[in-house]
């Protein structure tokens, strides 16, 4: 899927290498995740006007009041749901630019991703197509319902903050992990829920900041 960033200085290999080093410095150790991050042209997931900033470790606007997540957070969330082997089916709520889905698609067999804003869902779908990411399935639907026809999922990644929708627990496979930013007072905490039969173990992975999980379609 590696399209070359021909002639654009700011997307030079050096710039990408610096981002990789930064992720390592911040504690991302999983080589599979680092490899996926290195292989994904993030500048193609933002507006051309912002492409010079695409390899900075920051969230950036993608229109409609939404953002592409910070690379560190994308790497951390991917590592948090990735066990020993490759993942089978993964569900993402909040496609946005499609960047997180593109990373997941490199460590999973199939990625199902839902977005409630039609315009964003359509541009993400075009990106997947252009980049040859044929194992990503995307829909313009409200993620509060999950994706029942494809459940159960080995991993679920929620990229908008709020109350974790109950149905997602039911759609998680035994042994699978879900990560989601959950509202706690003024802040959000990244929660990892691991399913063991009918038990759901909760861990707090630290403070994060995501756009809100909303209801209905736009």
Of 96 and 176, which has the nearer Cβ to ligand SAH? 96
CB of 99 to ligand SAH, least distance (A): 4
Of the listed 51, 69, 97, 123, which one is catalytic? 69
DSSP 137-165: EEE-S-GGG--GGG--EEEEEE-SBBSPP
Of 5 and 211, which has the nearer Cβ to ligand SAH? 211
Of 5 and 60, which has the nearer Cβ to ligand SAH? 60
Q: d(Cα 182, Cα 190) in Å, to the nearest integer?
A: 6
CA triplet 32, 191, 17: central angle to 5 degrees? 30
CB of 15 to ligand SAH, least distance (A): 19
Q: DSSP H helical segments within the chain, as ranges?
A: 13-25, 31-39, 71-81, 99-104, 118-130, 166-170
Active-site residue, 6 included? no
Three-state DSSP at 97 gives coil
CB of 4 to ligand SAH, least distance (A): 22
Name the residues that contact ligand SAH, by CB under 6 A.
Answer: 66-69, 93-94, 96-97, 99-100, 114-117, 120, 142-144, 159-160, 211, 213-214
Catalytic residues: 69
């Amino acid at each position: 899927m590696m399209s070359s960033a021909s002639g654009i200085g700011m997307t030079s290999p050096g710039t990408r290498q610096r981002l990789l080093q930064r992720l390592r410095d911040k504690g991302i150790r999983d080589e599979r995740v680092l490899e996926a991050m290195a292989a994904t042209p993030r500048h193609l997931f933002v507006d051309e006007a912002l492409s010079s900033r695409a390899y900075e470790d920051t969230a950036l606007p993608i229109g409609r009041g939404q953002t592409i997540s910070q690379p560190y957070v994308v790497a951390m969330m991917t590592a948090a749901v990735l066990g020993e082997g490759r993942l089978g089916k993964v569900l993402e709520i909040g496609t946005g630019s499609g960047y997180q889905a593109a990373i997941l698609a490199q460590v999973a067999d199939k990625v199902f991703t839902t977005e409630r804003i039609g315009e964003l869902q359509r541009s993400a779908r075009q990106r997947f197509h252009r980049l040859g990411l044929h194992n990503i399935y995307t829909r313009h639907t409200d993620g509060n319902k999950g994706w029942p026809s494809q459940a159960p999922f080995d991993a679920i990644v929620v990229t908008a903050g709020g109350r974790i929708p109950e149905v997602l627990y039911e759609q998680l496979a035994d042994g699978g992990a879900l990560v989601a930013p959950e509202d706690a007072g003024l802040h959000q905490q990244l929660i990892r829920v691991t399913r063991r039969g009918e038990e759901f173990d909760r861990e707090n992975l630290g403070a994060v900041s995501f756009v809100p999980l909303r209801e209905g379609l736009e």
